[in-house]
Amino acid sequence: MIKHTLQSDRFRHIALTGAKTALTAYKLTLKAKLFAADTAITGLEKIAHNNQKALVKQQKENDNMKSFLSALTVLAVAGAALGAAGYYLYKKEQELNEYEELLYSEDLAEDYMPREDPTEEKLDKMARAAADVKEIISSAGENVKETVSGAYNDVKEAIDSAMDKE
């Protein structure tokens, strides 16, 4: 019976050692799986963080592009307004030059001026007509000034509003 007990103790010891080894291996396997899972989670977090950085960067680039395009649009509007004002001034200047040329031309004056000496009444009429022409020319100059001033104020407001949006 002692021999049988020794054998049974020996089997029990071998069985316990085997179980301990199996449990240790299982524990190491669980640790390895846990480590692998932790590594995977860390990797996914890094990928998510990098994607978030890329999205933020892309959003900033989009915002910068929008700001650039709005500034470019404002400059285009300002250029168009100044071009239109310049064209208007150029045309008005041409009209005024043409009118003055007709008014003060020597060739036309000889053809249309009467050959006789003008009377007081005719001189008064001519003086009033000359005063009317001067008034028309000065009012045209004031209209041009108002138009250019209005265009300048519109352009200034457009630039200010674009700068406020940024």
Residues 104-149: tens digit of each pLDDT: 776 555 555 555 666 777 777 777 777 776 676 666 666 666 766 6
pLDDT exceeds cutoff 60 at 56: yes
Flag whether pLDDT at 91 surpasses 80.
Answer: yes
Q: Output the average pLDDT for the chain.
A: 76
Q: Which of residues 154 and 107 earns the better pLDDT score?
A: 154
Determine the Cα–Cα distance for residues 8 and 1; give it in Å rounded to an integer.
10
pLDDT of residue 116: 64
User: Which one is predicted more confidently, 29 or 117?
Assistant: 29
Least confident of 39-43, 73-77, 105-109, 161-165: 105-109
Q: How many CB atoms lie within 10 A of CB 152?
A: 14
The per-residue pLDDT for 66 is: 85
Q: Which residues of 61-98 are buried (b: 16+ CB within 10 A; e: fewer)?
A: eeeeeeeeeeeeebeeebeebeeebeeeeeeeeeeeee
Judge whether residue 3 has pLDDT over 60. Answer: no
Confidence at residue 159, expressed as pLDDT on a 0 to 100 scale: 67
Structure confidence at residue 163 as a pLDDT band (50, 70, 90): low
On the question of pLDDT at 71 being above 70, the answer is yes
Number of neighbours of residue 103 by Cβ within 10 angstroms: 13
pLDDT score recorded for residue 42: 82
Round to whole Å and give the CA distance between 114 and 33: 118
